[in-house]
Every structure is written in C-alpha cells, then in structure tokens.
Amino acid sequence: VAIKTLKAEYTQNPQILARFLREGVAASRIRHPHVVDVSDVGNEGELAWLVMELLEGEDLGTLLDRERVLAPERAADLLVPVLSAIVAVHEAGIIHRDLKPANIFLAKTRHGGVVPKVLDFGISKMTGVIEDGGSNPFSLTATEALLGTPYFMSPEQVLGARNATRQSDHYALGVSLYRCMTGRLPFKTPELYPTLRAIESGLFRAPRELVPEIPERFDAMIRKAMHRDPAQRFASVHALGAELLQHASPLVKAQWGHAFGEAQASLEVPPPAASHDRISSVPLNPSPWRAPTPAPLG
C-alpha cells in the first residue's frame, strides 16, 4: 500500500484537514477497478492519513507532456475505462470536480500494459450526504467560491463552486480529450481572469482547426462534451462513453461494449455559443498514427 499523510502544520487548518479527509471518504465509497482504492482514512492528533493501493507508472498529463498528441484510438482506449469509473462515481452520489490528465494515473501492469485510475477526490462534492450546507465539517463550498483546476473548469464552475454538477465532470473530460488530440488546452492565458472569462464565453477553436487529421465525429464529440450549456452536452457521462467507445480498438470495444451499449448512429452537435465491472489493460506502446505538429502551447 501507499500511505499518504498531511504535513503536521496543515492539520491545524480545519479546511485543509477537511479537504484531505474528504478525499479518503469519497474514494473509499467507490469500488471500481479504475478508481484508486482507499482502504483507510483518519486523523489523530497532528497525524492525518490515507491508506491506498500502491501504483507504479505515470499520470496522463506526464504522458501528454512527452508525446504531445495521441492517436484517436489510443486516446479512446485510455479514457473509456476512466469514463466507466466516473459513471460509478456519479452513481455513488459524488461529483469529482477536478478531473484532468494529472488526476488520471496510468498504472503499469506486469505484462507491459496500463490500467487507468482516477485519483484525487480532495474537492469532490458528495451530494445528499456530505454537502449539508452548514454544520458538517466536510462541507467546504460555503467558504470556497472557486474549486478546481482553472483550465479544466466548466463555464458553470467558473461562476461558482455550488454550480458544479455531473455535467461539470463531463465537461472536464471533454477538455481532457481536447488536450489528448490537439496537444494544447482550449483556454489558456497568462492571467487567471482572462482564462476564466474565455471559459465562461464558451468560444474555443474546434480541434480539427488545429489538427485536421482528427476524424470529424471525434471532433464533434469533443465539442458537444464541451458545450457552454450543460443541457446541450451528452445526457450523461455514460452517453459520452458510448460515443467514445466507437473510436476505440476492437479489443476495448469487446471489453466495454456491454457496459456502454451502442452509441447513436449520428452525432448532432449544437452550434457553439456567441458497467463498470470490467478492467481493461491498454498497451503502453504508442500507436503508429501521428498527427502533424500541433500549434505551440500557449
């Protein structure tokens, strides 16, 4: 196992301590092969700890920093299991609120494959259980108006943490797919405020404008997942996963076909605004597909 502890000086800060313990409480409620397993959480005196499975490998963000872009099939193979995990997270009444490549760990297997794992539930929202709006020590949103990593936040999250819903996780997965396919983020400026304004506007360059080799349907899927209006996104992460599965390898389609079912035959994308009991091991070897060098990060 791995034991994660909080520095002693931080245990004296009620909000930091609550956020740390929240991560363990949230993750321990999920039993899914693509969510990091947490077996114990607690604090005593100046010691706060989480006991979780020991993973070896790297996170998706590190992989993308090295390889810049992924083939559509490889991106789908890595993220279909992650979407299955988020379906389970949502079924448990939890909203992650900080999904991003850095929180998707690619755990190595002894046979050279990788098992994606969702990490870091530190700012998750546990609907109907923890978020009681008052006395519960795990309720943080009353005092924190902005939670999440700015570049992956949905337009509704930009307007306030209490606006986060399952559709906000859905949006962050769309941004992660955008990053996988283009080698850059849809919104990124040197200052925080312009970035938040850009996200709230809902205006971004379509992935195919940056990498024309991206299939039209894959491009349409990303744009729909990232629509400014939550009601115009896919109906659920399950529906997004069903569509993403159509771009996966035959092996992954066979593994996850039962869990996600068939996607719609056609994908309608509104114009931009002015079973989770399976475990998949994805080969680490890169796909031979290579997109042209994407535009510089900026």
Q: How far apart are CA 172 and CA 176, in angstroms?
A: 6
Among candidate residues 220, 209, 213, the one with its CA nearest the CA of residue 266: 220
Q: How far apart are CA 92 and CA 129, in angstroms?
A: 10
Q: How far apart are CA 119 and CA 108, in angstroms?
A: 15
Name the amino acid, one letter, at 248.
A
Which residues 6+ apart lie within 8 Å of 295 measured at CB? 182, 183, 184, 210
**Identified catalytic residue from 59, 77, 98, 169:** 98
Locate 193 and state its tokens. 């405020």
**Can 98 be counted among the known catalytic residues?**
yes
**What are the Cα distances from residue 30, in Å, to 6, 96, 280?**
22, 12, 18
Residues catalogued as catalytic? 98
